[in-house]
Structure 1
Amino acid sequence: MNNHRALGRLKSGQMNKTEEAYRLHLEELKIAKVIAWYKFEGMKFRLADNTFYTPDFAVMKTDGCLEMHEVKGFWEDDARVKIKVAADLYPMQFIAVKKRAKKDGGGWETELF
């Protein structure tokens, strides 16, 4: 069994390597005028009493639509549940992104919720 997991969570506001790589991707999209704005941990959603979800990136497209982007290397069960609940409760697109291996062409895979 392959258990490659971090020993602890990073402090709020700190990006891991995959999130930093995705931030660079978002910066390229902003320069190309595909998106207008993004913010790391820019929004927090209440899902229930004492239950919140903070997507990795809030992203505004150039047409003004907001999307919430969750960057994942792997999924914990609670994280998948939270993004699904948020997508049901709030009127915006929730998107999970995963870095694609270079041998598979690189870039980012997306999953819509």
Structure 2
Amino acid sequence: MKPAVQALGRLKSGQLNKTEEAYRHHLEQRQAAGEVAWFKFEGIKLRLADKTFYTPDFAVMLAGGELELHEVKGFWTDDARAKTKIAADLYPIPIIAVKARAKRDGGGWAIEEF
């Protein structure tokens, strides 16, 4: 049987890419520090329209009980940015987009809020 072919840069549902894995580690550190109470990879799926959904990379509950959706990006496609903006308009849940900063730029995460 032939293996399934996937688009370049895409993994099977539930699998983390290297950037998402690094961000999961970052969330674990924040959880150990008491800033994050809980998080789950691809834990929430939001309906945007008929047969159109948005699944953020991480659902994150902060220590104070606030829920955030975190989207991890190496780069944005037009479709991904559009879905993120539509989800932010439809649902009263903050969406935080994070992008890894290069080590030469100080490392860490660049943040964009929707």
Give the TM-score band, short-chain normalised: over 0.9
Measured in 2, the distance between the counterparts of 1:107 and 1:10 equals 24
Q: Aligned partners of 1:89, 1:80: CA distance in 2, in Å?
A: 14
Q: Deviations over 1:80-111 (max 9, x none)?
A: 00000000111110010000010111000000
The corresponding residue for 1:63 is 64
TM-score by length of 1: 0.93
Over residues 14-43 of structure 1, what are the superposed CA-to-partner deviations in whole Å (9 max), with x where a residue is unaligned?
000000000000000000001100000000
Separation in 1, partners of 2:10, 2:105: 29
Structure 1 residue 11 corresponds to structure 2 residue 48? no
The answer for unaligned runs of 5 or more in structure 1 is 1-5
Q: Matches of residues 1-113 of structure 1 in structure 2 within 5 Å?
A: 7=8, 9-113=10-114
Q: Please tell me the residue identity of whatever aligns with 1:14.
A: Q
Distance across 2 between alignment mates of 1:88 and 1:64: 22
Give deviations 1:51-72, integer Å, cap 9, x for gaps: 0000000000011110000000
Which residue identity does 1:102 align to in structure 2?
K
- In structure 2, the gaps of 5 or more residues are 1-6
Look up the equivalent residue of 1:112 and give its one-letter code: E
**Per-residue deviation at 1:9?**
1.7
Secondary structure of the 1:71 match is strand
- Report the count of equivalent residues: 108
Q: What is the aligned-residue RMSD (CA, Å)?
A: 0.9
Following TM superposition, the consecutive aligned residue runs of length 4 or more in structure 1 with deviations greater than 3 angstroms are none
- Secondary structure of 1:97's aligned partner: strand
